[in-house]
Structure 1
Amino acid sequence: MPWAPATPLPQRRKWPFFAFGLLVYLLLTAAVLLWYQDDVEQMAWMDREVFNHKIINQYQLSDNISQDMVIQRLGTPDITAAVQHDNAVYQLLYYRTHRNAADGITTTDECTALLFKQRRLLAKGDAAVQQYAAVSIDDN
């Protein structure tokens, strides 16, 4: 008897294997997206700017966010300033969120500011810069 090719599986028996494979793929993809932390130190500068902007916009002043939490999530700030006023330490951290000039230098106008009082988030953006300036002037 001549050789005959093996008969393929009926169509209905292929679907469980396909469905199982698709389910495993979706579960693995969801696990990576939900639990994998971005490493800001490994990001290209353009990706880091977008990442910083996205995370900073999510911060709410009512959430009692600590300075350590911010540094752990966003990494080392690009520019910092600090002053002590009335036995409280005010720290202004600048994270780059956009680029104005392609000069290789990060300036405060290319950053979003976060103001911390006693290591707790007090203000962000222009309000943070204004409050820090007011405390700094009062301190002098």
Structure 2
Amino acid sequence: MGSAYGDADLVSLGSTLAAFEIQSAQTWWHVKGDNKIYAPRFVKNNKVVGILWSRKRDSILWFAPAERKDIRLGIQVLPILPITEVVFSDVDYVKELVKWALTSVPKNRTEEGWKGFVYALEAIYKQKQALNEVRDLSSHDD
């Protein structure tokens, strides 16, 4: 908006707020192998947080069990925007995250709507393969 109005101060403010949001998402929601915030057992079994409370974290979501890793990934990717690639800029982590999430995707095609979000992240490092996988989906979640 700052660019549209020619307001350099607003551009600076928006850039700063975006940087803070990216850093906080990567710190609190992304669970990398070297994570020191969460217990080692949680880090071993998770790549993203499902729900972050004031005093605890969960692997579940309000509407999905912990086993549906593809849905947890999707919640962290929504909405897919140009800045999503910046939020998920650690390609090694993204590869681990995609591999982790794909282990929980249901085999029946009627429940594959959340796969599109997994493939959106896969496109960061395997564009053609991800595009073909998205084209093969029978449905997409919105």
Do the structures match in fold with TM over 0.5?
A: no
Q: Per residue, is there more strand in 1 or in 2?
A: 1
| Greater Cα radius of gyration, structure 1 or 2 | 1
